[in-house]
Amino acid sequence: MIIDDRAYGRIEIKEPVLIDLIGSYPVQRLKGINQAGASQYAIKGKDVTRYEHSLGVMILLNKVNASLEEQIAGLLHDTPHTAFSHVIDFVFKSKNQDFHEKFHKEIITNSEIPAILKEYGFDVERLFDEFNFPLLEKSLPDLCADRIDYTLRDLVASYGFHDKINKYISSFIVKDNEIIIKEEKIAKEFAEDYLMMNETKWAHPLEITLFQILADAIKIALNSEVISQKDLFEDDAFLYDKLKESNNPEILTKLEMLNPNLEITNDPNDYDFYSKAKLRYINPKFIDSYDAVKQVTDVYPDFKAMLEKHNDTVENGNFIKIINY
């Protein structure tokens, strides 16, 4: 199986278990789920799908010599995502944006995935404990395959930073069951790029506004029984069409706002609603010249100050007023 990946180039997948899992319904469904949720309707470069990202995590894990089982876990880690990805966390007010994770076991168990894994000698139950896969998932501010892949992928999709990808990929090494970076300067550059992405994309007030608008439309639809919670586990197009076909004026007004002409202000003294982004930041570990493991903030006080300022801004939240759409 050949994959033409925007971040990693042309990749051949040879493992039969991976090929079969890629063809399964839960993984194929992810082709219809945009990673950026509501932003796809208003911001350029928001075309990354959960499918693309899931394959990317699997590929990256292979590149750092993770076990086949961990590559499987990487491929399947986003299968419980709802339509519009983290927009649903604004619907149900999930501070850690982990609403979908509650359905991980249910989505996988009620599919063909357990049978595929059994055929190849893998235990499906091991997938439901993230501590079995330390390269796939780590708590902030450390690096992990999931966090690295969405960063690299969005750097390419949003800014076309193809030249940086190979440099970053070649810098990742595994030490003590953790992905770290070989060189100090590259660690700082990656940390700065992650911070830049959070400031300009993931936690930008416009992005948060779009998420909140679509979340409000979904909440109205749920409360008026236009849609059911089961509908959330279809894909973006299915759910958007159901919202549009409702002919509910409140819902239709919200959907009309999701366009490139949306303009907002962020002013605590004059606002329509308050909303807050998930706090995201990294402080990568690297190997210094004495072969010791350090973090970027250990040697770059300027970055530490930037990080603290950014984190304070995110924690303060956004006071959004919509002025045009």
- 293: tokens are 């493991």
Q: What is the pLDDT of residue 289?
A: 87
In a domain, 94, yes or no: yes
In a domain, 75, yes or no: yes
- DSSP 3-state assignment of 123? coil
DSSP states along 22-33: HTSHHHHHGGG-
In a domain, 241, yes or no: no
- Between CA 75 and CA 50 the distance in angstroms is 10
Spatial CA neighbour of 313 closest among 197, 205, 215, 151: 205
DSSP states along 282-302: ---EEE-TTS-EEEHHHH-HH
In a domain, 48, yes or no: yes
In a domain, 216, yes or no: no
In a domain, 266, yes or no: no
> CA angle, 153 as apex, 198 and 229 as ends, to 5°?
75
In a domain, 235, yes or no: no
- Between CA 107 and CA 111 the distance in angstroms is 7
Please check whether residue 33 is in contact with residue 87, taking contact to mean a CB–CB distance below 8 angstroms.
no
> The CATH number of the domain where 7 resides is what?
1.10.3210.10
Question: Which domain range does residue 17 map to?
Answer: 2-205+278-318
Number of domain units in the chain? 1
Mean pLDDT, the chain, whole residue set: 95
Helix (H) or strand (E) run with residue 10 in it? strand 9-12
- Between CA 222 and CA 243 the distance in angstroms is 10
- Asked whether the whole model's pTM tops 0.85, one would answer yes
Q: Which residues of the chain fall below pLDDT 70? A: 94-98, 100
Total residues found in the chain within this entry: 325
In a domain, 223, yes or no: no
Spatial CA neighbour of 236 closest among 77, 26, 65, 38: 38
Q: What is the pLDDT of residue 99?
A: 73
Please check whether residue 256 is in contact with residue 302, taking contact to mean a CB–CB distance below 8 angstroms.
no
